[in-house]
Structure 1
Amino acid sequence: MSVEIFTSIANSSLFAKKYTQYIKLMLDIKKINYVVYDIGKDENKREEMISRSQRSSFPQLHVNGQFIGEWKEIEDLNELEDLDPILGIEDN
């Protein structure tokens, strides 16, 4: 499974940094491996993110090459317990 966070580390606002940390912490708690792409430094990754999601805002979560959502959508999916199946976490 490929889990990717697209964000801008160097040039982002406190808002973007906060919610990037939120997504990372959520994935860490769930013991999900992920890769973080800094779209502020990598134009190809920025274009890939926009192509997949049709959005330029960040942070974004993508799973297996598919756009899942921005931080608020991820938070909602997690609260509704709909995020675990997307991440391949089985219900015990």
Structure 2
Amino acid sequence: MTESYAQMNSYSQLVQALNGILGSLGNVIGGMALLWSAYTAHINSGNQAEANYALQQYRDCERRKEELERKERDLRERIAQCPA
């Protein structure tokens, strides 16, 4: 899909975009779980440098998750405004 979701008008286009956002959100959340596990494992083994790296990556995922959640809310609002 080449057009931005902000330019979409039809219900089906918006739902398709929402499905993509939800899939991406699931991937990000899964990545966060793995990174948190890596972080705690490195902390427990005393490997501070690797723990710091995992935590940095986790925080990057948090920001991405927040961005995707904003897009999700916007799309849900636009879908709700579509004519039935």
TM-score by length of 1: 0.29
Indicate the structure (1 or 2) with the bigger Cα radius of gyration.
Answer: 2
So what's the TM-score if we normalise by structure 2? 0.31
Structure having the larger proportion of residues in helix:
2
For CA contacts below 8 A with separation 6 or more, give which structure has more relative contact order.
2
- Greater per-residue strand proportion: 1
